[in-house]
Each structure stands twice: as C-alpha cells, then as structure tokens.
Chains A and B, each alone.
Chain A
Amino acid sequence: MMKSFIAAVLLLSTAVAAGAAAPCLPCHAEKTPAAVAQWQGSAHARAGVGCEKCHGSDHDKIVRGEAKVGMKVCAPCHQKAYQEHRASRHGMGLHSGWGCTRNLTNRKPGECRFCHEEGDEVPRSDVQCARFLKQSPEMGEIGCNYCHSVEDACDSCHSKHMTDLKIVRDPNSCAKCHMGPDHPQWEMWQTSLHGTLNATTGSKTGPDCQTCHMPKGTHNVSIGITMSSGGVPYPAVKAQPARADMVNICSACHAPSFAKRELERGDQVRSQSLAILKEAEQVIWDLNDRGLLDPMPENRPPHPLSGQRLVTDSQMLYEDTSHIERLFFKMKKYDYARTVKGAYHQNPAYTHWYGNAELKMDLVDIKSEASRQKERGGKKGEGKAAAPGAEDELKALKNKFERGALSQEEYAKEKGKVLEKMR
C-alpha cells in the first residue's frame, strides 16, 4: 500500500514538473541537458516551478541575455531570505566601498552622482567601484562582477538550477570570493583551530563560515560585524549591538566572557593597526601637500570618481598612482585587512606575519620612499631662481588647510612662523 502511494506521488510530481516546463524541455533536454537535469532534481521542479516562472516566456529576450534571473525574481517566494540578504553587506555587493553607499545613513553629500547623472533618476551604472571603472569590460565581468553580483544574484552562491543546500553550506562556496591577498577569510579560517577542528571532527565542534556568519540559516551575513568592509570601525551606537550579537553567536560554544575578551583583543589589534595605517597615510598626504608625489594627481589620468585628486580611501586605485601610493595600497588593502581579519578569525600567522609584520615593514618602506622623494624634490628646487624654502612651506601649509588638516587659526599661526623665518 505504502509503495503504491510513493510511486503515485513520484509519478504525479514528475508529471507536475514536466507540465511546468513542458514547452522548453524538448529542446533544452538536447541543447542544455545539464541545466535540465539539475532542474529536474531540484526542489523547484518538485514544487512545480518551471522555466517560465523564472525566465519568462520571451524566448528572444532570453537568447539576447536580457532575461537575467535577478534577486527580485526569487524574492516573491523567498521573502525572508531576500529581506535578510538586502539588509546584509552582500546586499550592497555592487556598491562596494564607501563611494557606493545608497543604503547607508552617513553617506557623504554629492555621492548620488556616482550612480546618477544630474537630474536623472535612472542610475547610469550598477557598479561604481573606482577599480571596476578602470577595468576592461572583460576584466570587470570576471574579476569584479563574478563576486560583486552577489547583490542581485541568488545564484552567486546557490548555483543556477540546483537547490541543494549542501552547496551553500560548504565553506568552499564562500571561498570563491573571500580568499586571496585582500581578504583571505577562507584561508584564515581553514588554518585556524576552528578550521582544523572542522576538518577533523566536523562542524559541530569546528565552526565554519556559515556557523558564525549565517547563524540559524540567516541570509544577513553582516550580523555581529563591527567595522566596514574597509576596516573602519563602526560608531559605538552601531558597533555595540553588533558585538552583542557576535558574543551571543560565540556563546553557543564558549563562555560569553571568553568570547567577549577574545573579540576585544581583536578590537585592540584593529585600533593599533589603524594607527600605523593612518601614520603612513599622513606621510603620503604630506608629500602631496608639498607637490612631491611622482607623478602628482594633476599629472595622471583622472580618478574615475574623484578626478585629478589624491585618493587614499576605499576608492583608491592600484594603477595610475605614484610608487608610494602603490605601497600604501598594499598596506591598506592587503596587510591591514589581513592583520585585523586574522585577529578576529583567531589565526596567529595571519595576524602577525602576513599582517602586522608586513604592516610595519610597509610603514618603513613608505617613510623611506617619502625621504627619497623629499631629497629628490630638494635637488629639483636647487635650480629655481626665486623659489625659497619658505614658498614651499607655505604651499604645503595651504594644501593642508584646504584639505581640512589645519584649522583657520592653526594655518594663520603656521604661516606666521614661516614669515617670521623669512625676515
């Protein structure tokens, strides 16, 4: 009796599935057999969700690549997951960096222009990251969008036609993007004690990415994080509840006091590393104030978002810059990120050797390069007929004042000192 019932259900479900995809199957079983087979084995097929439900019925449009199955196609059936995703950092994947912050409350005035032409409500581009804008379309697609499309593409993690949760519960699915020199979270986790335990005894004793960052299956991967993707600490009002969330997550295995202490150690490493980073950044801005970057921003191709100005924030480039900026890029994007993320992921080697040691050596390199540039600038100036040191000093002060590094009073005072020396 039971066997007959199961057989009937299977037959019925196959018939439902076939019915849902009836117009497409004859051709696609031949043209795209893998897609058909994956769909046939999916929960979608079992639930009668056929091709047209997601892809629509305009075949020409599909062939032209204009019927992409974006997140809004999935959203009506997967509302909870969609809302959680939108609230997370993944939900802003195409707006990477602080320059692309339409969902943040503390966005800077004038940022709308990154996405919109003046007076135009339609965004002119989905991706605004300066580094993306400098890429060729091919490099942009593979090197940028394959990861950053996560903002609007469930299949970025879930794959296209399969619905097996085994795929997205494997940390390898995160590794596609969360690896490499700029944020090697996957490698950090893998070689940490958490990773080792996971590999040897399973996820119940060794937590993986999903255990800590997607607790209870949430799609908000940003729960418990207390800094921006660029490593800038959140203000207390935002950081404190996030920290409480993370302590709560850790407390599934650890004593809350232990978890709190470990995370606070990470905070300390972060603030110490940020201080080193800021010191290096000041060295570069000082060179810029003195007109000693080689080449100076005004003598380079314009930055896609900021024009011919020095950029050292999240939108900084690794091309069309001076050598010292290239050193700073590595320091900020690789070594600072590795130190801080290494600390929060409890990986000693990444925190120290791949992170902190590199960070400190970067500062040595940057200071040394700055000295060379200053020496070079001094030699260049020897031939100038009427360009005294005072003039260079005043130029540097003016630049510092104009970028807000000096107040009106400080500027006047410092100028007074230079003029006093001139007398």
Chain B
Amino acid sequence: MKNLVLTLFTVLILGSLAGCAATLPAQLPTGLQVKPIARSDADTPFDAALNGTFATVAKGNVTLTDRQGKSVKVVDGAASALSFSSGGDRLAVALPAEDGTWLRILDGSGKTLGETKIGGRITSVAWRSEKEVLAGVLNVRKFSFGSQMTSRLFQWDGSGVPVATTLNDVTLRPQVASLPDQLLYNQLFIAVSPYRDEIAYTTLKDPPLFTPYLKVLIRNLETGSGAEVGQVQLGGGKVIYAPDGGSLLIGDAENAARRVSLPDGKELETWPSAAINPALSPAGTYLLLDGHLYRKGKEIATFPAGSRGVFLPDGSAMAVSYQGELFLVSGLEDGLVPALPADLERVLKLRRLRSQKLITDQEYRKELERKEPVQ
C-alpha cells in the first residue's frame, strides 16, 4: 500500500513537471527503457518506419526524425493522417486543404513522389503494398433535416487517378451531425489484413430513436464482398488486425476491448481497458490500450492518460506520444511475426471464395488443413 501511494505520488509530481522537461511519467518493468526522441504535437498523427525513422507533426509541420534524433521538416503544414509503407521507404501524408485533402507520397528523404487531391476529410491512410496506398475519406453534406455522411475508400498507386469506392452512406440526425469532431470523425480507420487482400474499418449507423454506433466491417478488396463483425460505441473507431489475420481487435471507448474472430465476429479474448488509442505489436505480444501496456494478456506498465503509441515494425520498441513529445520505449521482446502460408496463392483464393460466402468458414478451415500434394 505504501509503495502504491509512493508510485502514484511520483507519477503526479512527474506529470506536473512534464511541461518543463521531456519526461514520460511511467513505471516500467525491468528491461524497458524510455527516452525522448522527437517533438510530436498533441493530438496529431505519428508513425515509425522499419529503419527507425519517425514521422511526426512538430510545431505544425510534418517532420522526419532518425534514431539519432536528427530532425528535418519535410512538409509545411500539419497532417491529419500519416503512415509509413511496410518497407519504410515511403510515407503517405494527408494534408487538409480548404476544399478537401491532399494525399501526398514522400520518399525516405521527404521528397514528394506523388500528390493528389481528394474531396472530403481523410481520416486514415494505410499501405496495402509498397505501391498502393489506401485512404479512408469522410464527406458530410448538411441539410435542414440532418446531414449526409459518406464513407469512401480511395485506392491510389501514387500516379494515376485514385479509385474510389463508397463504403457507407448514412443520413445523420441534426443532433448527431453536431457532435464534436473527436466523436464524429473518430472512425473509418482503415486497417489492412496481413494477407493484404482485406480491410477492416468502422462506419457510422444512426438509427432513429436509438443511440448512434459504429459498425465494424471487413471487406475483401478484390471481390468487394464483406461482413459485419461487430458493433462499438461512437469514438471507438480504431480496429487492428491480429498478426495472423484471423482476428480483429475492437472495443468501445468506455468498455473493455475485445478480440473477435473473422469473419464471424465471435469473441475470443477480452481486456479490462477501454480501446482508446489502441496499438498492437507486430507479433501480437504487446498491446497498448488507453495507456495500459499488456504483455501476453497481463498488464506490465501504465502510461499517463492521453498518451498514444505505435510499435516499431520490428517489434523492438514502441513510440509513445505524450504532451508534445515522442518517446521511445525500447527493450521489448515481441517475438517472431507469423509468416504468411507458403501456399499463399491458394489461401488467397480460398479467402476470396469465403468473402463471397461461396464457401463457409468451416469449409475454408477444412481446406486450409489440406496440404497441396507434393510434386
């Protein structure tokens, strides 16, 4: 009890000093180290590349910082979303403009490789491959009776015209349309399956006489077929694929987070923390939920409220943004990322069939168990 009071006191003292010094008030288990690495404006996006480069918004501009702490401004203006490609060679940046959002692709040095303007607000960017970037875009049109919200997916190869697909079209009641942006636009975070054939995302549902909520959906990018796998409260719009692509982490902003199986949405695992700013390590060993860091289901550290994190692609560390600074929490032992099956082509074909409900999930699993005959 004495230790607990002492710890809380320490956290409070350190927290009150954070404006003065670059510190991340957290009690970490042995083996984990924390150090400041870059500036990262509050409530702005950030990401970490495979080579240890960090992309942040610093003092209102997009900035790249390497592991040695050397920063370079690469874009004038703040991004609403940014994401490194899995190889780390490219950075996709969404830059709000007056009449839409610029989607820009930069190389490792910050040089612009391509740029396109999209009507609407880009809420997330994600890479399907080293060449194809996906953007979730929301459009809201206001009418006297309410507002129309359209969710669209843009697929862009960096040079041609982006291909748009409407994912959802909903009429919002006036009281829902006037909700704060943090609630209303906290959705449509595109997550790409490790198989790269499927995305998961959330869309808003506003049923008359009921509380609005978010539907969690998956969609096969080749067939356009998909399924609803769950529902979450408004504000819990971020979903994350498990490393094997067979389940999805979802959760409410107030209640526990949960992992559900795909495509049937059955609950597999739960955590007692709300799914606020969730992040999952590449091999799935570590999970960050609302500042609580879990290792294999057990909480091992707590970061202050409002902190957000992303794991490095190699699983060795986590970048945590807190009060204008980005901290590197290193010493993680994530383990091996599950490899994709050797007969990937056949599995993708089966996934395609399952997405269209041409085969059941049971038949899909039965077929997976069968190995191709040895030549």
Q: Which residues of A sit under 8 angstroms from B359, Cβ to Cβ?
A: 394, 415, 419
Asked, given contacts A423-B370, A423-B373, whether A386 binds B358 with beta carbons under 8 Å apart, the answer is: no
- Closest beta carbon of chain A to B157's beta carbon, Å: 15
Bound Cα distance A391, B355 (Å) = 12
Interfacial residues, chain A to chain B (CB-CB below 8 A): 385-386, 388, 390-391, 394-395, 397-398, 415, 419, 422-423
Binary interface encoding of chain B residues 343-370 relative to chain A, with 1 for a CB under 8 A from any of its CBs, else 0? 0001011001100111100010001001
Task: Decide: A391 and B358 in contact? CB cutoff 8 A.
Answer: yes
Residues of B within 8 A of A398 (CB): 357-358
Q: In the complex the two chains form, is A419's CB within 8 Å of B222's CB? A: no
Residues from chain B with Cβ under 8 Å of A419 in the complex: 359, 363, 367
Residues of A contacting B357 in the complex (Cβ-Cβ under 8 angstroms): 398
- Chain B residues with Cβ under 8 A from A390's Cβ? 349, 353
User: Complex: how many Å from CA A385 to CA B223?
Assistant: 11
Minimal Cβ-Cβ distance residue in B for A422: B349
Taken together as a complex, chains A and B put the C-alpha atoms of A395 and B359 apart, in Å, by 10
Q: Is the interface of A mostly helix, strand, loop or mixed?
A: helix
- With A415-B363, A423-B370 as given contacts, are A394 and B358 in contact (CB-CB < 8 Å)? yes
Cβ–Cβ < 8 Å partners of B348 in chain A:
386
Determine if A386 and B363 form an interchain contact, defined as CB atoms under 8 angstroms apart: no
Picked from B222, B349, B367, B373, the residue with its CB within 8 Å of the CB of A388 is: B349
A418 to B357, CA, bound (A): 15
* Shortest Cβ distance from residue A393 to the other chain B in the assembled complex, whole angstroms: 9
Cβ of B350 to closest chain A Cβ, rounded Å = 8
B222's contact among A386, A394, A397, A422, by CB below 8 Å, is which?
Answer: A386
Distance (whole angstroms) from the CB of B375 to the closest CB of chain A: 13
How many chain B residues have a CB neighbour from A under 8 Å?
15
Q: Which chain A positions have C-beta within 8 A of B356?
A: 391, 395
Say yes or no for B99: interface residue by CB 8 A criterion: no
Q: Is B372 an interface residue (CB 8 A)?
A: yes
> What residues of chain B lie closer than 8 Å to A388, measured between beta carbons?
349
Identify which of B356, B358, B363 gathers the most chain A CB atoms within 10 Å of its CB. B358
Nearest Cβ distance between residue A20 and chain B, in whole angstroms?
Answer: 62
- From 198 to 242 in chain B, residues with beta carbon under 8 angstroms from any chain A beta carbon are 222
Given that A386-B222, A419-B367, A423-B373 are contacting pairs, would A395 and B358 also be in contact in the complex, using a CB cutoff of 8 Å? yes
- Chain A nearest CB from B291 CB (Å) reads 42
| Least Cβ–Cβ distance between B353 and chain A, in angstroms | 6
26 A-B pairs (CB sep. < 8 Å): A385-B222, A386-B222, A386-B349, A386-B352, A388-B349, A390-B349, A390-B353, A391-B349, A391-B352, A391-B353, A391-B356, A394-B353, A394-B358, A395-B356, A395-B358, A398-B357, A398-B358, A415-B358, A415-B359, A419-B359, A419-B363, A422-B346, A422-B349, A423-B370, A423-B372, A423-B373
A423: B residues at CB distance < 8 A: 367, 370, 372-373
B196 to chain A minimum Cβ distance, whole angstroms, is 13
Task: Find chain B residues with CB under 8 A from A385 CB.
Answer: 222
Q: How far is the CB of A314 from chain B (nearest CB, A)?
A: 32
